[in-house]
Amino acid sequence: MEKRNPFFFTADDADQLARLEAADRANEYLYRVLDIGQYMLQSGAEISRVEDSIRRLCTSFGAQRTDVLTITSSIVVTIYAPQFGAVTQTRRVAGQQYDLHRLELLNQLSRRICTQYLSLEETERALEEIRNVPQYPFGVQLLTYALISASFSLFFGGSAMDAVASGLIGVLLRYLDRVIRQLEANAFLSALICSCVGGLLAASSVALGLGESVDMISIGNIMLLIPGIPLTTSLRDMFSGNTISGLLRFSEAILLALTIAFGFALVAALM
Amino acid sequence: MDFNSYVLQMASAFAGSMGFALLFQVRRGKLMLASLGGLLAWAVYLALGPVMPQDVPRFFIASVALTIYAEVLARVVKCPATLFLVTAAVPLIPGGSLYHTMRYFVEGDFAASSAQGLNTLLLALAIAVGMIVPMSLFQLVRRVRLRWARIEAEEGGK
């Protein structure tokens, strides 16, 4: 008779097969759960929300124990139940695009999965729907940039003409940012170029008589460009116990914010 | 500061928050609520002016107010509090202070630059701590309530 390692396949074959099938299903389910976690993280959810949702989702489909670790751009989940043993998956999450509407939909979906026990197909269909929800049209987005720059220029004490100049420059800068990012330049280079160009445009619009104060025009544009939301989210992450993620995001946001302010200030000081 | 500039600041805080709400794809029904949060935060900051001369505690209290607003609203309209929190906090973000920090820095005035830099950092901290305190309290209340419900259910079952 063939010799066998005594630690493997000691259970009878039917039992073993059922276990493997259960593990397969668990793996497939976990993949969808990670999809939801990934989209949440990309849409701008804080770490504790992502981990909490993943934990609830896994419990709802029968995991006895769930261990989740989320660090800025990666999620690791291990689930355990006697039916399928331990199943682990990891996910690397790249690129963030704040979309609070999508976050809201994802939150609703994960609640629905937990209370109504959606099947895999239903979950997949719902995820696909969320993926295809349209964003605001391009024209509205351009107006948004102008609105933000103009109102913050006024907010920090600029005149009406400053606000107009800041609004126009804001639209150009966001467009420039998009073009540079399509060339796959890194975020810091893009920030430095955008802020220097922004500073130059602010100085030249004052020279041309559109606007009065380079500082006020620039501040409106800085508010548009700086990662203010990651900055506050990361501090919240740190205070709620997710120190690693918080610190990583915080230093990234601080560096970016400093780079942007530096670019504007440099041009303003040289002019 | 005269009355007109108060109104102007609150109006522009409202418009700025609305801009960010649009940028982050907040949909029509919640757009107004999110933007009003920004106005509320700045109104609290301005209202504290006569009582407190320092910016840091004023930012802290404004941040507490906007977090309570966001958490309550999240329960009323049933959506993540982040949606209101993130958009309403925008007027508090110390962009102006950050700009002046760098402005002093490139002009070589390092004393002014580091003082202003510290100010920027403290303001950011005040906002974050102001958010954490009410959020933790809301979480605590929810947990206590859940435990109560469980105890009552167990006693009812006996």
Per-residue pLDDT of chain A (271 residues; tens, 9 = 90+): 555 554 554 556 667 778 888 888 889 899 999 999 999 999 888 888 899 999 999 988 888 899 999 987 899 999 998 888 899 999 998 877 888 899 999 999 998 888 888 888 888 999 999 999 888 888 888 899 999 999 999 999 888 999 999 999 999 988 888 888 788 778 888 888 999 999 999 999 998 888 888 889 999 999 988 887 787 788 778 877 888 888 988 898 889 988 998 888 888 888 7
Total beta-carbon pairs less than 8 A apart between chain A and chain B = 149
Domain ranges of chain B: 3-157
Would you call B124 and A235 a contact, using CB atoms and an 8 Å cutoff?
Answer: yes
Q: What is the pLDDT of residue A77?
A: 95
Domain encompassing residue A60: 13-131
Number of domains, chain A: 2
Residues A84 and A18 in one domain: yes
In chain B, which among 118-147 make CB contacts under 8 A with chain A?
Answer: 124-125, 127-129, 131-132, 135-136
Q: Which helix (H) or strand (E) holds B72?
A: helix B55-77
Residues A143 and A191 in one domain: yes
The mean pLDDT of B95-124, rounded to a whole number, is 90
Residues A121 and A200 in one domain: no
Please report which confidence band the pLDDT of residue B19 belongs to, taking 50, 70 and 90 as the band edges.
very high
- The verdict on residue A67 lying in a domain is yes
Q: How far apart are CA A217 and CA A56, in angstroms?
A: 47
Burial of B51 (0-12, 13-18, 19+ CB in 10 A): exposed
Q: Residues B88, B17: contact at Cβ < 8 Å?
A: yes
In chain B, which among 15-74 make CB contacts under 8 A with chain A?
Answer: 15-16, 18-27
Place of tokens 């029509």: B28
- B131-144 in b/e form (b: 16+ CB < 10 A) is bbbbbeebeeeeee
The structure tokens listed for A93 are 């999450």
Q: Residues A38, A97: contact at Cβ < 8 Å?
A: no
Contacts of B26 in chain A (CB under 8 A): 100-101
- The verdict on residue A7 lying in a domain is no
Residues A151 and A264 in one domain: yes
Residues A263 and A236 in one domain: yes
The mean pLDDT of B92-103, rounded to a whole number, is 89
Q: What is the pLDDT of residue A234?
A: 84
Average pLDDT, chain B: 89
Residues A75 and A168 in one domain: no
Structural domain ending residue among the three candidates A106, A131, A156: A131
Residue B42 predicted with pLDDT over 90: yes
Q: How far apart are CA A245 and CA A242, in angstroms?
A: 6
Q: Which of A151, A222, A240 sits opposite B99 (nearest CB)?
A: A222
Q: What is the pTM of this model?
A: 0.85
Residues A23 and A69 in one domain: yes
Which residue from B65, B55, B53, B39 is spatially nearest to B120, judged by alpha carbons?
B55
* First CA to last CA distance, chain B: 66
Contacts of A261 in chain B (CB under 8 A): 98-99, 101-102
Structural domain ending residue among the three candidates A98, A131, A164: A131
Residue A91 to residues A32, A62, A88, A190, Cα–Cα distance (Å): 11, 21, 10, 27
- The verdict on residue A8 lying in a domain is no
Q: What is the pLDDT of residue A18?
A: 81
ipTM of the complex: 0.88
Burial of B119 (0-12, 13-18, 19+ CB in 10 A): middle
In this structure, how many other beta carbons lie within 10 angstroms of the beta carbon of residue A137? 9
The structure tokens listed for A242 are 């997710």
Would you call B83 and A144 a contact, using CB atoms and an 8 Å cutoff?
Answer: no
Residues A192 and A103 in one domain: no
Residue A58 to residues A65, A74, A83, A236, B72, Cα–Cα distance (Å): 8, 18, 14, 25, 28
Q: What is the pLDDT of residue B58?
A: 94
- The verdict on residue A62 lying in a domain is yes
Contacts of B102 in chain A (CB under 8 A): 258, 261-262, 264-266
Residues A160 and A222 in one domain: yes
Which residue from A89, A47, A81 is spatially nearest to A65, judged by alpha carbons?
A81
Q: Residues B90, A155: contact at Cβ < 8 Å?
A: no
The mean pLDDT of B62-90, rounded to a whole number, is 90
Q: How far apart are CA A41 and CA A61, in angstroms?
A: 22
Q: Which residues lie below 8 Å from residue A126, measured CB to CB, with a gap of 6+?
A: A109, A112, A118
Residues A121 and A146 in one domain: no
User: Dihedral of the CA atoms A167, A169, A172, A175 (nearest 10)?
Assistant: -70
Residues A142 and A87 in one domain: no
Percent share of chain B, pLDDT over 70: 98
Residues A152 and A262 in one domain: yes
Structural domain ending residue among the three candidates A131, A158, A188: A131
